Amino acid sequence: MIVTLIIICEVAFWVLLAGGLALRYLARMPRTGAAVLLCEPLLELVLLVVTAIDLRGGAQPDWKHGLAAVYIGFTATHGHYMIKWADGHFLHRFGGGPAPVRPPRYGMARAVHEWKMSARAIGAAAIAAALLQLAAWYVGDAGQSESLRMWQGRMGVVAGISLVIALSYTIWPKREPGTGRAHPERDRDASGAVGGGR
């Protein structure tokens, strides 16, 4: 049931996103569209409540409950980012807005972008780890909560990998092909544009 609900939440996320943006830009109903988009967090709330009820009902904690915590964590930190990304493209395509600013590709501006993405991943891992810890305390049995502890360890790995990726772009900035330079001035401008939009 938990896995099915996760799939339903993911599908519903994109349906609400498409519906909210369509109402906002195609139907010219910005308030209604915004109201639909504001319903997105309810999906994670429903998943959280159902997972808690499942555990309270005597279900043995396993990988499905861990996956639910991870899904909630990553949706909490990446959901707004995805909505803003899609909104920018809808505004450009249907609302006559400017073309969305692409993330910087080279130099330190790319490194800054990677650190922002790393912060989201670390935040997601932290939220998931906290939910897993609450679930472990809720269950109370150390033996039964072993699978939840394993998911916590995986979240530590995710946080570590994201840090390594961001650090690698800082130590070895990506250079534009054919120039051998990172174009710091251009990247600094791009970084400011991207940073200002988040």
**114 and 166 Cβ atoms separated by less than 8 Å:** yes
pTM: 0.81
| 3-class DSSP assignment, residue 1 | coil
User: How far, in Å, CA of 77 to CA of 98, rounded?
Assistant: 26
Three-state secondary structure string covering 120-173: HHHHHHHHHHHHHHHHHHHHCCCCCCHHHHHHHHHHHHHHHHHHHHHHHHHHCC
* C-alpha 94 chain-centroid distance: 25
Spans of all domains in the chain: 2-196
Instruction: Taking residues 62-71, report their average pLDDT.
Output: 92
The tens digit of pLDDT for each residue in 155-196 reads 999 999 999 999 999 999 888 776 655 554 444 444 444 343
User: How far, in Å, CA of 115 to CA of 109, rounded?
Assistant: 10
